[in-house]
């Protein structure tokens, strides 16, 4: 029986990689092109801020309902599959916006992206809980870095394809957007097919360990996972002050072509791929928090680098640095949540983590959208002033809050030199504090 279960788990992990490939094809065709689509619809800077904030706020609120929906569905896949189907179909009305709503297209885009984000987000806690059960703790860094590396490569490839399509249809840009969003719909349907074949292990029903969502929220500041959730949320807030406006800066202020825009964003993806394995191995050996602490010290410099030059190749270098840093942060953050959560409450704990992050992203984007038109022009463009504020805010958060989170696994003690080389000291000592 155990052999049969191991076979089903192994097969599910392969299907999860295929699901990741399909999802990444959708992401590559869309994630860097929602803002350009909005700009093509004549969106203002404030509307770009709303486009980045409202979907994340509603998604954050909806995350709190995800555990209840999972229980009502009877299983995690019982919620995941219908949500993924609806998420795929949402690209239909989005691609029709220029034809159905030519005068108020931006507002309809905000509505449809909000619905899409909420629907897609409802499946995330259940999916995270499922994957945490399928992937053994000692190999999460390697597995998710492998999966993530493939996903970033696919995302990059399809982002290049999308950029080429838009460049080809520069004079009829909405035809280009129709093609790439139609491709996103088909890719997400393929993702649904692979998810449907995955095995779902039984969830522990230990009633004594189960806690309500309200109880977990009330005690967020008193647990290691709760403090980590608050820290990541603050980082997301500071990041989102500037995050939605890099595309605006390149396409509107610097007047880069779609081809140049794609080259710069692709540099981020290439760097992300290159460092997935590097960070995955170090997370497995030294612990996720060691990776988080190292890359957190680099995060404040990402937006500040954009103040140095307008040169395309310089900005590509800045994106290489960004891709390297975020590869480590995102991988280690998601794996730490899996490590620090318990099976009985994992869906709820992931939902809280996502909810707090969603609210933080929303507030950051709203603040950025409000500040951008009103900031003094310190660096030729007021959006560059916004980049400076984001960088300084990240630095302050790292200095104040990074010290309050600790590793939950027993990992060898390493100094910085050994950590970067991936070599522990000869005598292994636990470096965890609960």
Give the model's pLDDT for residue 295.
95
Give the model's pLDDT for residue 361.
87
What is the count of structural domains for the chain? Answer: 1
Share the mean pLDDT of the chain.
86
- CA of residue 421 relative to chain centroid, distance: 27
Residue 123: inside a domain, yes or no?
yes
Give the model's pLDDT for residue 423.
64
Give the model's pLDDT for residue 15.
94
Exposed/middle/buried for residue 189 (C-beta within 10 Å: 0-12, 13-18, 19+): middle
The CATH number of whichever domain residue 135 belongs to comes to 1.20.1250.20
Residue 282: inside a domain, yes or no?
yes
Residue 366: inside a domain, yes or no?
yes
Q: Which domain holds residue 398?
A: 7-195+216-421
Residue 82: inside a domain, yes or no?
yes
- CA of residue 53 relative to chain centroid, distance: 15
Taking 50 as the pLDDT cut, the residues of the chain under it are: 1, 3-4, 207-208, 427-434
Residue 152: inside a domain, yes or no?
yes
Sequence-distant (6+) residues with CB within 8 A of 91 are 26, 30, 116, 181, 182, 184, 185, 188
E strand or H helix at 297: none
Residue 41: inside a domain, yes or no?
yes
CB 118 within 8 A of CB 110: no
Tell me the C-alpha to C-alpha distance, in Å, between residue 55 and each of 114, 187, 238: 4, 22, 17
The rounded distance, in Å, linking the Cα atoms of 276 and 383 is: 30
The rounded distance, in Å, linking the Cα atoms of 322 and 330 is: 12
């Amino acid at each position: 029986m155990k052999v049969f279960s191991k076979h089903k788990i192994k097969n599910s992990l392969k299907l999860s990689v295929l699901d990741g490939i399909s999802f990444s094809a959708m992401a590559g065709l869309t994630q860097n092109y929602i803002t350009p689509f909005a700009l093509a619809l004549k969106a203002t800077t404030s509307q770009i801020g709303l486009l980045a904030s409202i979907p994340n706020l509603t998604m954050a609120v909806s995350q709190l309902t995800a555990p209840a929906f999972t229980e009502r569905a009877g299983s995690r896949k019982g919620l995941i599959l219908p949500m993924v189907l609806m998420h795929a179909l949402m690209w239909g009305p989005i691609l029709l916006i220029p034809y159905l709503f030519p005068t108020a297209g931006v507002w309809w885009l905000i509505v449809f992206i909000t619905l899409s984000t909420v629907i897609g987000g409802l499946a995330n806690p259940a999916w995270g809980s499922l994957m945490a059960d399928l992937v053994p703790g000692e190999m999460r860094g390697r597995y998710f870095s492998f999966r993530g590396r493939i996903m970033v490569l696919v995302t990059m490839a399809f982002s290049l394809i999308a950029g080429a399509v838009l460049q080809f249809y520069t004079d009829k840009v909405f035809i280009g957007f129709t093609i790439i969003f139609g491709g996103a719909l088909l890719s997400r349907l393929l993702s649904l097919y692979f998810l449907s074949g995955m095995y779902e292990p039984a969830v522990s029903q230990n009633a004594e360990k189960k806690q309500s969502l309200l109880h977990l929220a009330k005690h967020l500041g008193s647990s290691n996972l709760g403090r980590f959730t608050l820290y990541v949320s603050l980082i997301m807030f500071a990041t989102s002050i500037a995050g939605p406006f890099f595309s605006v800066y390149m396409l509107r202020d610097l007047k880069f072509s779609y081809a140049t825009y794609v080259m710069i964003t692709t540099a981020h993806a290439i760097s992300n791929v290159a460092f997935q394995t590097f960070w995955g191995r170090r997370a497995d050996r030294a612990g996720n928090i060691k990776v988080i602490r190292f890359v957190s010290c680099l995060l404040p410099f990402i937006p500040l680098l954009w103040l140095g030059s307008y040169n395309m190749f310089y900005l590509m270098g800045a994106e290489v640095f960004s891709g390297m840093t975020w590869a480590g942060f995102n991988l280690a953050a998601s794996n730490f949540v899996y490590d620090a959560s318990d099976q009985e409450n994992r869906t709820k704990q992931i939902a809280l983590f996502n909810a707090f992050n969603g609210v933080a992203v929303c507030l950051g984007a709203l603040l950025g959208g409000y500040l951008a038109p009103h900031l003094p022009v310190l660096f030729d463009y007021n959006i560059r002033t916004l980049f400076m504020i984001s960088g300084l805010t990240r630095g302050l958060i790292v200095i104040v809050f990074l010290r309050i989170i600790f590793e939950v696994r027993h990992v060898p003690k390493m100094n910085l030199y050994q950590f970067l080389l991936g070599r522990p000291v000869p005598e292994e000592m636990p470096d965890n504090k609960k």
